[in-house]
Amino acid sequence: MSTGDPLLDRARAWQAADPDPVTASELGGLIAAAEAEDRTALAELADAFDGDLEFGTAGLRGRLGPGPNRMNRVVVGRAAAGLGAYLDRQGLGGGRVIIGFDARHNSEVFAADSAELLAGAGFEVLLAPGPVPTPVVAWGIGAADCVAGIVVTASHNPPADNGYKVYLGDGSQIVPPADAEIAAQIAAVGDLGALPRSEDWAHWGPEILTGYIDRAAELGDRAAGSSLRWVYTAMHGVGSAVVRQVVARAGIPAPIEVAAQAEPDPDFPTVSFPNPEEPGAIDLAIATAVRAAEADAEPVDLVVANDPDADRCAVAIPTADGWRMLTGNELGWLLAEDFLARGVQGAYACSIVSSILLSQMAADHGQRFVPTLTGFKWIGRVPGLAFGYEEAIGYCCDPQHVPDKDGITALSTILAIAAEAKAAGTSFGSRLDRLAMRYGRHLTDQLSVRVEDLSIIAEAMSRLRAQPPSTLCDRPVEVTDLLSGSDRLPPTDGVLLEGDGVRAVVRPSGTEPKLKAYLEVWSAPPAEGSSGSGVDPELSVRLTRLRADMTTALGL
């Protein structure tokens, strides 16, 4: 390939300016291979330099590596500089910014670069002294009176990824128009090497973490002194150290930990995808629970899992047929029921792709229900929020202090509910039957299609809008194009189909190259005197039929 090739010229210029010897060396190897006409290297270079990694409401997230379409020190440095410029334009120059990071590859380096650039821009920077859960940073924004917060994390993404999450001074993730305004400032950053840097920043003091732990422990102190037996996995992430302190402070029995997953490991060696929702991800935790029950001849009450940055939480329960992972909606219902039963006043919120059951529960208790767009950047901003959740195992149990999803305060609340259920001679999972008796049984599922070509998603959405089905499961449905917005929701790229006992919401994923359909079917409450427990075969059949109908409707 000629030396005048524009792609190679961009790659060489990037290599010359790259402050990271690792990615500079990696890029040099790709350039050399591309010059020798290596097709794989050419494709990798084309992808790495095909535009910029987009800064949006989720901040940045992408694969580690050289180039503007990857996560690296250049891209992160520009993001930090752009954020600083945005804060200056908002009249917040010189304010305090808190920065945290997880244990992924390069997270600490990206956090340190951000601290130096923001300190060089005149901000007072508090940097975490080590890897921390994302919710601790969200807590620290309010606790330390910060104008913004940054967490370097890719949450539950694969090991090759990293990310950059931005919060503003209200403790919530950024939403439009702030995302576009920050992106514009990032695009305007000139020569990164010419920007001032400073080491005049500080590690935050122990009061940030101690304050968070104390508050999280308060939410679980109803479980103090209980006989609860539970298994915990941090999924190779940063949750273990904080969870241990929270449960000790609350007086909750210590967990049986999954030893192989207890400490941070950026390679996530025991899971192919470090997300508790993924099939097989909590197999080790369930196996640990089975062994513990057999060894001690005493059952384990539940398994609790955090994702790697501990902002999400999942639960598995024992059943007559073995262990079962609760869906994100089921866990959301159980948490909401606890808040409502304790008379917690305020708004109860969930994203539009989550179950409709929360709206019925809130109304039944005289509380306001608020539907939101997908993501805690919307849920956390609901005025007067008492509790919020989304089906992707995200729960906000302490909105006054952490207006974001928080897997540790969720864990603490879950343990309190489980301990109270055990003391009453029931179980955590049996409360789902109680809800079914009162509101009817709801089943949810998700149809998710990963694509290489994003045009496939756009074509499927266009096809659905042009020719939506008039029935699902032989039941008439109303079709609402969510792009039009409503009095309760701003416009979003999605389609809602809803009828008697059947519902589907279709939308492109905001963080992955996936098209998703969120499915729900439900039945009326059982007749008085019936048990209402167990699986409803007709409802299970209807859910299977709904999945097939939506697959056909999307042309997949």
CA 164 to chain centre: 13
Length of the chain: 556
- Single-letter code of the amino acid located at 500: D
DSSP run (H or E) holding 389: strand 385-390
Q: Give CA separation, 331 vs 316, 365, 400, 543, in Å.
A: 10, 19, 21, 19
Nearest to 300 by CA among 285, 281, 318, 276: 318
Distance CA 255, CA 226 (A): 12
CA–CA dist 234, 138 (Å, integer): 19
Pairing outcome for strands 96-101 and 256-257 = unpaired
Check whether the bond before 177 is cis (ω within 30° of 0).
yes
Residue 354 a catalytic site member: no
Q: Contact, 347 vs 382, CB < 8 A?
A: yes
Residue 477 phi/psi, 5° resolution?
A: -130, 145
- Nearest alpha carbon to residue 314 among 300, 330, 298: 330
**How many angstroms separate the CA atoms of 52 and 45, rounded?**
13
Candidates 2, 25, 114, 155; catalytic one: 155
Residue 242 CA to residue 234 CA, distance in Å, equals: 10
Question: Whole-angstrom Cα distance, residue 12 to residue 400?
Answer: 49
How many CB atoms are closer than 10 A to CB 310?
A: 28
Sequence-distant (≥ 6) Cβ neighbours of residue 38 within 8 angstroms? none
- Residue 91 structure tokens: 């009249």
Closest CA to 276 of 407, 442, 430: 407
3-state secondary structure of 36: coil
Residue pointed to by tokens 């300190």 = 119
- Strand-pairing partners, residue 372, are 351
C-alpha span between 59 and 163 (Å, rounded): 7
Which of 380-406 are b and which e, b meaning 16 or more Cβ less than 10 Å from the residue's Cβ? bbbeebbbbbbbbbbbbbbbebbbbbb
Taking the C-alpha atoms of residue 174 and residue 152, their distance in angstroms, rounded to an integer, is 15
Structure tokens belonging to residue 393:
């195992």
Half-sphere exposure of 130 (CA within 13 A, CB side): 8
Catalytic residue ranges: 155
